[in-house]
Amino acid sequence: MKKTVLTLAVAVSSLIGAGVSALADNLPDLGGRDIVIASENTYPPLQFVDPKSGEAIGWEYDAVAEIAKRLNLNVTFQNTSWDAMIPAISAGEYDMAMNGITIRADRAEQVDFSEPYMRSEMFMLVRADEDRFTDAKGFASNTDFLAGAQPGTTPFYVTVYEVLDGDEANPRIKLFETFGAAVQALKAGDVDLVLTDSTGGQGYVATNPDTFKLIGDPMGSEDFGFIFPKGSDLIEPINAAVASMRTDGTLDALNKKWFFDYKVAQ
């Protein structure tokens, strides 16, 4: 998310629910309903395991905690892999999932999405000392350069179709089970580029400014949404809760907390 779109004047104290707007007051009361939410915890600052405390934290956890408070939900989180997440939601194994999930038509054939809670642009994450290329064209021109990606994700498809030649089996793309594993391969020098949306990229750069940097122009934008089994009755109230959080400044405060103020413990 571009820094220019964030309202920095909003106090982080609004995250605890002080001064909730009239819109939030009119939200439905779901009566302490129990729901299970799937997450992967590999995508800072949206969701990750704090290396100091061992607890799962991040933007999405704070957002869901506030949604649960406003709707009177009792939330349990269940860790699962990205590959299993959409099929599991489609099968009704969980009530909802969060993982910085890009809203796409092909995915909407299997699951229902919430309204977008965040928009982000795609950038090139490279090592901080990278000086051999500065944009996608420069990367593509040298066949020795390798990209890392998690299959089936937006960064994978953008790498295939906007950076390289459209061949999903291109050997220049090294596949990893998680986005975090691709970033670790970049850090180790095993690959030279990992595409990331600006939210995740800013998180890695803020945490490791001597290790990573973002380069190049944005390669389009993507909207993130929560996913649900088809026809879920949670979608409408959660959309309303997110709308109320946008109206009263809570989403802006979350952006400030996680994209500007927070530094992951080393």
Query: What span, in angstroms and rounded, lies between the C-alpha atoms of 243 and 147?
Result: 37
In DSSP terms, which residues pair with 96 in a beta bridge? 37
pLDDT in tens, 115-142: 999 987 889 999 999 999 999 999 999 9
pLDDT in tens, 163-204: 999 999 999 999 999 888 999 999 999 999 999 988 778 878
Positive or negative: CA dihedral 165, 169, 170, 175: positive
pLDDT in tens, 83-120: 999 999 999 999 999 999 999 999 999 999 999 999 87
Tell me the pTM. 0.68
CATH topology of domain 32-116+224-258: D-Maltodextrin-Binding Protein; domain 2 (3.40.190)
Mean pLDDT of 240-248: 97
Backbone angles phi, psi at 54, to 5 degrees: 80, 5
Q: Per-domain residue ranges for the chain?
A: 32-116+224-258, 120-221
pLDDT in tens, 17-41: 444 444 556 899 999 999 999 999 9
Query: What span, in angstroms and rounded, lies between the C-alpha atoms of 252 and 266?
Result: 26
Nearest CA among 59, 27, 78 for reference residue 224: 59
CATH architecture assignment, domain 120-221: 3-Layer(aba) Sandwich (3.40)
Positive or negative: CA dihedral 193, 194, 198, 202: negative
Higher per-residue pLDDT: 64 or 42: 64
